[in-house]
Chain A
Amino acid sequence: MKIDFNGATREMTAEEIKALEEENRSLESIKQESDISERVKRLEENRADTNEELSSLRKAFGAIRETLEGLRSLTKL
């Protein structure tokens, strides 16, 4: 592989190629960590949304139960 240094192109030395590969491996690892962090963040956001929805459903259920109990007490009269 070649390097263009200030307009002059030459073959890269074995050391330069090795350093390049190491650099890319290191950045790939950072990218993977970043991807995992992003996924965890999204999962946590989804969990928060699900909890909120669950809370709304519980409130709605509670309201329905109250209404049913009210109706039952009316039918007993």
Chain B
Amino acid sequence: MNNVILASLFSKLKRVEKQEAKVFELIEEITIDAEDVATIERTQEPDGTAYAFEEVLVNFEMEVSASSSSLTCRANNIASTGISNLIGTSKKYCALQYQAYRGLLFTSYQSPVAEKAWAGNVIARNTEVLSAEAINSLRFSCNAPIPTGSKITIYAIRK
């Protein structure tokens, strides 16, 4: 009887451990240090591991520019999202989230704010895309050079 109870407890502990293992990891912190960079694309981690994430969180910290620009963000070359006025005459912060869940790809982002805080409206935009089992690539592009010193930090939960 005690063995049955112990076996049941171990089984539950394994499930809890498995659930607790699903946390966001820092994948890469990208700093724009070259002039004229308008597009950032990633299909692999810095060590060469191909992207295969079930969830991605991107933090943007955009330096000042002479004019306002929007950033177009894509996951898996689909799910295009335009974040308006992410680049402008004052420093801006923003967060973007992708989730691949049961074949669907969900996108949500926070409208750009002046301080590094989870403030402002969260704009949820659900994009139904079949066969999006994982997030395999990210692309951020602007119609003008992204200011040097800007940072794009990528966190992810692995599939």
Chain A interface (Cβ < 8 Å from any Cβ of B): 1-7, 9, 12, 16, 20-21, 23-24, 27-28, 30-31
Given A7-B46, A20-B141, the answer on whether A2 and B37 have CB atoms closer than 8 Å is: yes
**Cβ-defined contact, B36 with A23, below 8 A:** no
Q: Which residues of B7-55 have CB atoms within 8 Å of chain A's CB atoms? A: 30, 32, 34-44, 46
Which residues of B have CB within 8 Å of A21?
143
- Distance to closest chain A CB from B153 (angstroms): 14
Which residues of A have CB within 8 Å of B82?
24, 27-28, 30-31
Query: Can you offer 5 A-B residue contacts whose CB atoms are under 8 A?
Result: A1-B38, A2-B145, A4-B37, A21-B143, A23-B141
**Cβ-defined contact, A27 with B34, below 8 A:** no
Which residues of A have CB within 8 Å of B40?
3-4
**Cβ-defined contact, B37 with A9, below 8 A:** yes
Bound-complex Cα distance A20 to B39 (A): 9
Which residues of A have CB within 8 Å of B44?
6
- Distance to closest chain B CB from A11 (angstroms): 8
User: Contact partner of B70 among A1, A4, A9, A24, CB < 8 A?
Assistant: A24
Which are the 7 A-B pairs with shortest beta-carbon distances?
A27-B82, A1-B38, A3-B39, A24-B143, A2-B37, A2-B36, A4-B40
User: Contact partner of A20 among B35, B37, B38, B43, CB < 8 A?
Assistant: B38
User: Contact partner of B80 among A4, A27, A31, CB < 8 A?
Assistant: A27
Q: Mark B129-158, 1 if CB is under 8 A from A, else 0.
A: 000000000000101010000000000000
Given A20-B143, A27-B80, the answer on whether A3 and B72 have CB atoms closer than 8 Å is: no
User: Contact partner of A1 among B30, B32, B145, CB < 8 A?
Assistant: B145
Is B126's beta carbon under 8 Å from chain A?
no
**Cβ-defined contact, A24 with B72, below 8 A:** yes
* A11, closest chain B residue (CB): B36
